[in-house]
Amino acid sequence: MKNKIIAIIQCRLNSRRLPNKAILKLNKVPVIIRMLNRVKKSKLINEIWVATGISKENDKLCKLLLKKNIRTFRGDDNNVLSRFMDIASKTKAKYIVRLTADCPLVDASIIDKAITSITKYKLDYVSNILKRTYPDGLDVEVFSRNTLKKTFENVTDDYSKEHVTTYMHGLHKKKYKKGQFKKFNIENAINFSHMRWTLDEEKDFHFINDIFCNLKNDFFWEDVLEYLTKYPEKLIRNNMIGTGLKANKVNKKKKAFLKSNKLFKRAINTVPLASQTFSKSYTMWPKGNSPLFFDRGHGARVVDPDGNHYIDYILGLLPITLGYCDPDVDNAVIQQIMKGTIFSLPSTLEMKLSELLVSIIPSAEMVRFGKNGSDATTAAIRLARAFTNRDLIAVAGYHGWHDWYIGSSSRNLGVPKSVEKLTKKFTFNDAESLKYLLSKYHNKFACVILEPSGLIDADKSFLKSVRELCNKHKVVLIFDEVISGFRINLGGAQKKYNVIPDLSCFGKGMANGYPISAIVGKRKIMKIMKEIFFSTTFGGETLSITAALTTIKKLKRLNIVEKNINYGKLLSERLNKIINASKLKNYIEISKVYWWPRIILKDIPITEDLAVSLLRQEFIEQGLFLGSTFNICYAHTKNNILKLTTESFHRSIENLSVKLLSKNPKIYLKGDTIEKTFKVR
Ligand SMILES: Cc1ncc(COP(=O)(O)O)c(C=O)c1O
């Protein structure tokens, strides 16, 4: 045959991550046979070969292939290139299609497209991997025997011998030799390269098995796409970040931040602070020796642009209560996307979420939505002022970025003095300090706003006294539960302490990372919403409302708030044990506020900024993305995360014992010292 075209599927059974993967059964049929059946649908391939290694581990595979009468070639275990060369010479093939057994979903239509291009235009190498647009796992490469011969003659390094086409595609040109070939890339009109359809780990196997169980034989890759559009959670689950073991292994390598640092230089040109939030900005991290961006998150883990993995204890500043990419929430949101994200009249979802909040939050009789915590607190202040016809506000805690609050902090640049003067501070857990304010400015206060529980446990008698003082002075009591909501108790701190405010604000944790906040409260005050102006285009946006409905129902159904608090308790106990057995026992402690444990530094003999910088740098090195608090989500309670955290923390404390207590701790800081924004807690 003059223009003979053969396909070679390279295959081995000794894969480290998923041993024997080629003979695992996908809906009762071994992976390799499934793949062969799919390749056989090609109209242009004349012969199909399976190439495997000579070592004993592959005997089982060869026995199966022999039984099924499949052309099999065994050659050098590591020099896969030589296997290809031998088959090509033996078969006198003009063109060779290279496939790998980790692509059981490979599609004959894509193979034939690649073959048509190489033969029609007399090219040397055609593939769909030069610029990826197909899902990962549909990889096809076609090359001429001449290209293979040139590669075989020029390649000397082991990597290129194992990865047959390294010299042809030249994608690693800085590391390995690259040939001069006429190349072409097969592209799909829509980019699906973010999808992972390859068979590499156990979770991939479950994903692909499900496809073979649910689609009729002879399906095309477009049928898989259609199936995943119907069941998007399957794809979400499969995109998870590696297993605990893998992440742990990565942790042992010294981390590099080249991409983060390069991206930062670019971002700072167009984004002041290179971040939308002070607390997420470079000022909080030892810049230079720290990640400055994240690419993706799944469960309790995140990955930075340099590929470093971390267990995340910041969780986007607390909105994540279930875990990144929770399949239930994301699936519900995807279904809603297909119905519409926003309308010109309210959607009935607003009413459904309001009813749900009224059923679980003691003070909630009516509800309105915003996007940020600051929207909710600012709306509450306006309502209180309208209700009482007074101007002054008493605050204890952090309540957002608007003038009325931030004017009372040291970050008050840009806030008129006249506004600043209207906000007065009192001390948390000290009812006398509030009593003093309310008496000093008699009949002037519209409201008292406070975080009813935070890094320090609330004293129940304090909350009761605040309630009584507000009643006595006819002042609106507002609980800012933006953090405590859905974390301390499903009904907030008001439910836990049984002290009922007039208005309360929720945000962060209510929708597992989707932007929504809520102001809830007594009917007689909430009704004034009709008179004041709290009105915003995206207040009723359906995706976040859907996310909130799904998140809250899941929190309730699986009793997750309690599970997260129990995790916080276990974690604090284990970490305190590690600290107490170390030289740092007099300097560091984990607080016993179990729903939100924090790291307390005591009498440390260096400046707090340097100590915090060294701590953060060390935690990052050990694979923990951890600030001053342990922000906990449901995903932490699973998959060995407690054990991995404890081990990483142990290594951190061992290293910090040397660094913090040395004569010159500063020499250990490889990045910049952190800069504090301001301190309210
Ligand atoms: C207690 C509290 N209230 C209000 C806010 C403001 O919320 P947002 O940043 O979503 O506007 C925050 C944010 O950290 C908060 O912690």
Residue type, 296: R
Give tens-digit pLDDT for 217-228: 889 999 999 998
CA–CA distance, 403 with 661 (Å, rounded to integer): 43
pLDDT at residue 165 tops 80 = yes
Q: Is 483 in the pocket of ligand 1 (CB under 6 A)?
A: yes
How far does residue 377's CA lie from ligand 1's centre (Å)? Answer: 8
Q: How confident is the model at residue 253 (pLDDT cuts 50, 70, 90)?
A: low
Q: How confident is the model at residue 244 (pLDDT cuts 50, 70, 90)?
A: very low
pLDDT at residue 298 tops 50 = yes
What does 56-79 look like in DSSP terms, one character per residue? GGGHHHHHHHHHTT-EEEEE-SS-
pLDDT at 254: 77
Sheet strand arrangement including 296-298: 296-298, 301-303, 309-312, 624-625
Residue nearest atom 13 in ligand 1 by C-alpha distance = 400
Query: E strands, 503-583, where?
Result: 503-506, 517-521
Q: How many CB atoms lie within 10 A of CB 49?
A: 23
Tell me the average pLDDT across 425-453.
Answer: 97
pLDDT at 242: 55
Tokens of 21: 């993967």
Q: Is 449 in the pocket of ligand 1 (CB under 6 A)?
A: no
Residue nearest atom 14 in ligand 1 by C-alpha distance = 400
Where is pLDDT greater, at 15 or 551?
551
pLDDT at 173: 82
CB 104 within 8 A of CB 110: no
Residue 607, CA distances (Å) to 53, 279, 287, 348 in order: 60, 20, 18, 54
Give ∠ CA 308-309-310 in degrees, rounded to 5.
125
What is the pTM for the complete model shown? Answer: 0.78
Tell me the average pLDDT across 265-269.
Answer: 97
Q: Is 372 in the pocket of ligand 1 (CB under 6 A)?
A: yes
Catalytic residues: 398, 480, 508
pLDDT at 639: 81
How far does residue 508's CA lie from ligand 1's centre (Å)? Answer: 8
Q: Is 9 in the pocket of ligand 1 (CB under 6 A)?
A: no
How far does residue 401's CA lie from ligand 1's centre (Å)? Answer: 8
Nearest atom in ligand 1 to the alpha carbon of residue 454 is 1
CA–CA distance, 48 with 39 (Å, rounded to integer): 8
CB 188 within 8 A of CB 135: no
Q: How confident is the model at residue 680 (pLDDT cuts 50, 70, 90)?
A: low
Report the mean per-residue pLDDT for the chain.
Answer: 94
CA–CA distance, 212 with 218 (Å, rounded to integer): 10
Tell me the average pLDDT across 462-469.
Answer: 98
Q: Are strands 476-480 and 445-450 parallel, antiparallel or unpaired?
A: parallel
CA nearest 449: which of 389, 390, 502?
A: 502
How far does residue 276's CA lie from ligand 1's centre (Å)? Answer: 14
Q: Is 450 in the pocket of ligand 1 (CB under 6 A)?
A: no
Give tens-digit pLDDT for 72-129: 999 999 999 999 999 999 999 999 999 999 999 999 999 999 999 999 999 999 999 9
Question: Among 398, 406, 428, 628, which is best to mutate for testing ligand 1, by the most ligand atoms less than 8 A from CB?
Answer: 398
Domains of the chain from N-terminus onward: 5-196 (3.90.550.10), 258-323+561-668 (3.90.1150.10), 342-540 (3.40.640.10)
Residue nearest atom 3 in ligand 1 by C-alpha distance = 399
Q: How confident is the model at residue 178 (pLDDT cuts 50, 70, 90)?
A: very high
pLDDT at 217: 84
pLDDT at residue 245 tops 50 = no
Length of the chain: 681
Give every CB contact of residue 144 below 8 A, 6+ residues apart in sequence.
Answer: 94, 95, 96, 118, 123, 124, 125
Question: Among 478, 483, 519, which is best to mutate for testing ligand 1, by the most ligand atoms less than 8 A from CB?
Answer: 483
Give tens-digit pLDDT for 191-237: 888 889 999 988 899 999 999 999 998 899 999 999 988 887 777 76
pLDDT at 234: 77
Give tens-digit pLDDT for 114-128: 999 999 999 999 999
